[in-house]
Amino acid sequence: MTEPTQLADLSAQRLTAGYAAGEFSPVDVTRETLERADEARARTNAFTLIDGDEALAEAKASEERWRSGQPAGPVDGVPTTVKDLFLTRGRPTLRGSLTVRPEDAAWDEDAPAVARMRESGAVFLGKTTTPEFGWKGVTDSPRHGVTGNPYDPGRTSGGSSGGSAAAVALGAGPLSLGTDGGGSVRIPASFCGIFALKATHGRVPLYPASPFGTLSHAGPMTRDAADAALLMDVISGPDWRDWSQLGPVAGSFRAALDGPVAGLRVAYSPALGWDVPVAPDVAAAVRSAVETLASLGAYVEEIDPGIENPVEAFHTLWFSGAARVAEHLDAADRELLDPGLREICAQGERYSALDYLAAVDVRMALGQAMGRFHSAYDLLVTPTEPITAFEAGAEVPAGSGHTRWTGWTPFTYPFNMTQQPAATVPCGLDGDGLPIGVQLIGARHADALVLRAAHALYTSGVADIPRPGGS
């Protein structure tokens, strides 16, 4: 695959190599990337904020560090975006909600991952769109409207990190930070043709704690697995504000990319053994990706993990979290909420503590079942989504019969309940030219292994899909 000719299309690792060699500067890259950000906002409504002046000031400071041979870290000078659920110093975090008033907070603190990136010299272009409080698998909100798909703006970008996925796909920064409580980095990455990793829970510290509890993870959204590994080396640094963070990583995620795929035990499950109709184009593309893993020397077996769909337990946990989000709102503010969010808040308020604990029991049993499964298999491979992107502005596809977003994304939320690392890699386009993703799931703490297998798919050409128009 030939290298892109425009600076905004280069990977983060290629950018930093170019800075070190004096081929181009962070200022040049940031100027071009800001143009892409403006285009992405116009095409897809991917941004809640673009701060060009601040980004150029950060780029100029980075340029001086590179010129003196003292870069601040692995992503110094790399244009980056941040989902508007992360606290970002000097910029409001509005969470897609009219109930959040910018004047009510000082906005003087960075979330842990943002702080680690700032320390490493990243250039922050702006903040990307999310559904209100990240509650659903598509991206539209009362505050910022609908975010479209870079391949077809009339289709959804997915969610809840839809703005980040659209921005990365359109060249508005090679790196973005997203959150994932039920698929929220993997869904939009699959729909928008990029890479995303939901890291093992606690691997990327989170603060403030999510109202959705330990379902919520953080992770990188990038154009390839190598850039995700680079970003993981930065954002997995410790932060005392997250009491559930994991201990230090042994070694580098980037270094782990070069390990072999040959000999890995791969379980391929076309639909997790559930009665889920998978679109023929999706099924074919995912099977082809699995065959590539086999050609690289992995031992592949078509087998289901033997788990039941935990959707009702997930709803109990998720809707209870939503109720917690809205607990402090008065009647007038509740009327400002997304109607779907208001509905699940009301449902969450009806659950008892015993209902919640029963859902926790389901979650623990699911985690044990997957732990047992991974004692025999290194990776579980599924479609990321059984479908491709549908109409923008709708929670569910027209005529699907689903009432909530969980109905059409059954392969993502189970692995939030188990806290396992899970990634999505683009593996083709459907007949309408829309991206398809393959999901790679590892045992808890096997983030490096998931990244290694994903990187192998990139180097083998599986992920070489046409970029969306305008990039």
Whole-angstrom Cα distance, residue 156 to residue 391? Answer: 6
User: Which of 81, 48, 33 lies closest to 222, judged by CA?
Assistant: 81
Report in angstroms the alpha-carbon separations of 225 from 13, 194, 467. 11, 9, 16
Q: How open is the CA angle 417-420-422, to the nearest 5 degrees? A: 110
CA distance 355 to 364: 14
* Catalytic site residue from 25, 62, 83, 269: 83
Q: Is the peptide bond before 208 cis (omega within 30 degrees of 0)?
A: yes
In total, the chain counts a number of residues equal to 471
What are 368's two structure tokens? 């044990």
Q: Give residues with Cβ within 8 angstroms of 67, minimum separation 6.
A: none
Catalytic residue among 25, 62, 184, 269: 184
Residue 408 and residue 191: Cα distance in Å, rounded? 13
Catalytic residue (one of 25, 120, 157, 160): 160
Distance CA 131, CA 142 (A): 8
Please say if 136 is a catalytic residue: no
Both tokens assigned to 97 = 């909600």
CB 381 within 8 A of CB 388: no
Q: Is the dihedral of CA 344, 348, 351, 355 positive or negative?
A: positive
Tell me whether residue 184 is one of the annotated catalytic residues: yes
Closest CA to 314 of 411, 441, 182: 182
| Burial profile 40-58: b = 16 or more Cβ within 10 angstroms, e = fewer | bbebbbbbbbbbeeebbeb
Place of tokens 């059409």: 408
Active centre residues (catalytic): 83, 160, 184
